[in-house]
C-alpha cells in the first residue's frame, strides 16, 4: 500500500465521504480564477459533515505532513482554494444548515456552506435583514464570505461581512477547536480573534460555525438607473450624491463596455450608447424614500444625467438587479477567459483610477469592462482574455502589475472584497507597511507553525 493509499484508507475509516479517483478530483484543482498552465491534483477531496469530522481530518493531515485546503463554492477569483499535490481538499458542502435564528437577539447561527441568498431569505421571513450582498449570492457561501470578508454593492451604507460577524467556531491546524467571540452584540473581552479570522482566507483555521448579527429589514427600496454621456459626469454624480448627505444602500458605476456587454448577452432594455450609468438603490421608510428620491433626482439631473429610469415596484427592482448581477457572466462570453479585479481607492480617486485603467488596457491591447461600487471606491475591471494567446497572457501580467501600482499610488489597496489568494500574493508587499507584513507572517506562523493550512495564499 502506498503512502497516499494509507492516508485515504485512514480517512475512509472515519466514515467520511472521500473522492480519490483522478477524474473525480480534477474539478477541485482550481476555482473561478483564470486557469493557469500548472494544475496540481490534490491527494483526495473529503466531505466532512461536522466540526468533529473537520478536526479528525486535520489531525490526519498533520500526522502525514499534508496540507488542508478549505473549499466552499469556489467562486473566489484569486485562486484562494487552489490545491497542491500534497493537499487534502476539505469540501464543506455537507455543512449547509441554519442552526438557529434568534429573532429576539437579532442573530443567526449557520454552518459554512449556507448560501448568502438562503440566509437572507430566512432572515426576511422574520422581518430581518443581512446586508452583505455578493453579486453571486445564490451560490456564495457564508464561510466564503467570512473567509474573504466579502462586501458587495450595499457596503457603502451597511458595511461588509466583517461588520456582522460576532462569533466563529474554528478548527485550528493543531486540531484544537475554539470559539473566537460570544453571541452578544458588544464584546471587548480579550483580543478580537473573530476579526482576525474574518478575511484570513482559510490560512489560520477552518471555520465550521458562524454567528452573524442581523438588522430589521428596511420597509421599502427604490432602484434608479441614471445614464451619462461622460464618465466624468458619472463620477461627479457619485460625489454630488454623497455630498448631499444621501446615503444610498447601493451606488454602483457601470461603463459603456459593461452596459453594451450586458445588453448583448442578457437583453433587459439597457441603453447602450451612453458612456456610463449609475445604479442607485435607496431604502428605508416610504416617507424617507420619497424625501431622498426628490433630492436624488434633482442631483442626478444637475450632475449631467441624460436619462433617469426608476423602478415602480419590487418586480422592477429585481429586473434591474438581474441585469447588474449578470455583468460578470456576460463578460465571460466575450473571450475564452475573464479575470476580474477589485482594487479600491478613496471616492475622490475613482475618476483617475478608471482613466488609468483605460490607459493601461489601451497600451497593452486588453479588452476591459469597468464597473464597481463607486460609493466606497471599490472598482471591478473585468478583463476579457484569451490566455492561450501567449502575447495576450504576457500583456495581462503587465496590466495587473500596473493596475495594482496605480491603485496604491492613488492611496488605495489591492483588494476590497475578493482577497489575495495566490494570484495577488506577489504584490502584497507593495500594499503593506513592512512592519505590518512582518507581524502578519508571525501570526500565520503562530497559528500554523507547520504551514499546513491553505499554504501559498497571502504568505
Q: What pLDDT score was predicted for residue 32? A: 84
Q: What pLDDT score was predicted for residue 136? A: 76
Summarize pLDDT for 320-352 with one digit per residue, the tens: 888 888 999 999 999 999 999 999 999 899 999
Residues 88 and 62: their CA atoms lie apart, in Å, by 11
Report the share of the chain in percent with pLDDT over 70.
99
Decide if pLDDT at 41 tops 80. yes
Instruction: State if pTM tops 0.75.
Output: yes
Residues 215 and 207: their CA atoms lie apart, in Å, by 23
Summarize pLDDT for 205-261 with one digit per residue, the tens: 999 999 999 999 999 999 999 999 999 999 999 999 999 989 999 999 999 999 999
Residues 459 and 441: their CA atoms lie apart, in Å, by 7
Summarize pLDDT for 284-320 with one digit per residue, the tens: 999 999 999 999 999 999 999 999 999 888 888 888 8
Nearest to 374 by CA among 397, 395, 343: 343
Q: CA–CA distance from 209 to each of 46, 98, 191 (Å)? A: 18, 10, 19
> How big is the chain by its Cα radius of gyration, in Å?
22
Grade residue 31 by pLDDT with cuts at 50, 70 and 90: confident
Contacting residues for 290 by C-beta, under 8 A, at least 6 apart: none
Amino acid at each position: 500500500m502506498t503512502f497516499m493509499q494509507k492516508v485515504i484508507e485512514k480517512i475512509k475509516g472515519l466514515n467520511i465521504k472521500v473522492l480519490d479517483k483522478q477524474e473525480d478530483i480534477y474539478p477541485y484543482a482550481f476555482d473561478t480564477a483564470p486557469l493557469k498552465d500548472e494544475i496540481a491534483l490534490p491527494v483526495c477531496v473529503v466531505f466532512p459533515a461536522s466540526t468533529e469530522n473537520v478536526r479528525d481530518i486535520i489531525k490526519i493531515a498533520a500526522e502525514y505532513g499534508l496540507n488542508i485546503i478549505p473549499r466552499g463554492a469556489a467562486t473566489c477569483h484569486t485562486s484562494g482554494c487552489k490545491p497542491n499535490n500534497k493537499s487534502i481538499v476539505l469540501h464543506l458542502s455537507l455543512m449547509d444548515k441554519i442552526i438557529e435564528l434568534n429573532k429576539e437577539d437579532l442573530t443567526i447561527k449557520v454552518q459554512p456552506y449556507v448560501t448568502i441568498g438562503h440566509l437572507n431569505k430566512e432572515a426576511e421571513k422574520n422581518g430581518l435583514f443581512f446586508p452583505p450582498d455578493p453579486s453571486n449570492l445564490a451560490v456564495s457561501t457564508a464561510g466564503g464570505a467570512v473567509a474573504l470578508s466579502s462586501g458587495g454593492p450595499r457596503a457603502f451604507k451597511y458595511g461588509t461581512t466583517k461588520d456582522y460577524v460576532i462569533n466563529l467556531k474554528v478548527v485550528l491546524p493543531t486540531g484544537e477547536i475554539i470559539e473566537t467571540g460570544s453571541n452578544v452584540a458588544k464584546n471587548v473581552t480579550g483580543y478580537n480573534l473573530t476579526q482576525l479570522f474574518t478575511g484570513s482566507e482559510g490560512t489560520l483555521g477552518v471555520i465550521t460555525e458562524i454567528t452573524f448579527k442581523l438588522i430589521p429589514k428596511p420597509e421599502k427600496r427604490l432602484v434608479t438607473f441614471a445614464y451619462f454621456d461622460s464618465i466624468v459626469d458619472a463620477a461627479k454624480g457619485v460625489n454630488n450624491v454623497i455630498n448631499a448627505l444621501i446615503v444610498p444602500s447601493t451606488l454602483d458605476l457601470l461603463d459603456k463596455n459593461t452596459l453594451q456587454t450586458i445588453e448583448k448577452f442578457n437583453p433587459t432594455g439597457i441603453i447602450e450608447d451612453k458612456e456610463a450609468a449609475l445604479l442607485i438603490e435607496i431604502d428605508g421608510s416610504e416617507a424617507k424614500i420619497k424625501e431622498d428620491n426628490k433630492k436624488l433626482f434633482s442631483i442626478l439631473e444637475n450632475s449631467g444625467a441624460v436619462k433617469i429610469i426608476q423602478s415602480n415596484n419590487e418586480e422592477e427592482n429585481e429586473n434591474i438587479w438581474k441585469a447588474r448581477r449578470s455583468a460578470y457572466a456576460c463578460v465571460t462570453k466575450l473571450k475564452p477567459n475573464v479575470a476580474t479585479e477589485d482594487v479600491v481607492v478613496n471616492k475622490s480617486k475613482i475618476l483617475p483610477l478608471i482613466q488609468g485603467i483605460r490607459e493601461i488596457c489601451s497600451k497593452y491591447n486588453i479588452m476591459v469592462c469597468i464597473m464597481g461600487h463607486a460609493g466606497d471606491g471599490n472598482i471591478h475591471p473585468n478583463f476579457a482574455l484569451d490566455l492561450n494567446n501567449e502575447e495576450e497572457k504576457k500583456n495581462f501580467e503587465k496590466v495587473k502589475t500596473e493596475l495594482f501600482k496605480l491603485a496604491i499610488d492613488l492611496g488605495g489597496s489591492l483588494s476590497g472584497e475578493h482577497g489575495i489568494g495566490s494570484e495577488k500574493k506577489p504584490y502584497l508587499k507593495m500594499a503593506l507597511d513592512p512592519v505590518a507584513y512582518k507581524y502578519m507572517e508571525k501570526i500565520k506562523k503562530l497559528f500554523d507553525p507547520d504551514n499546513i493550512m491553505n499554504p501559498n495564499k497571502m504568505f
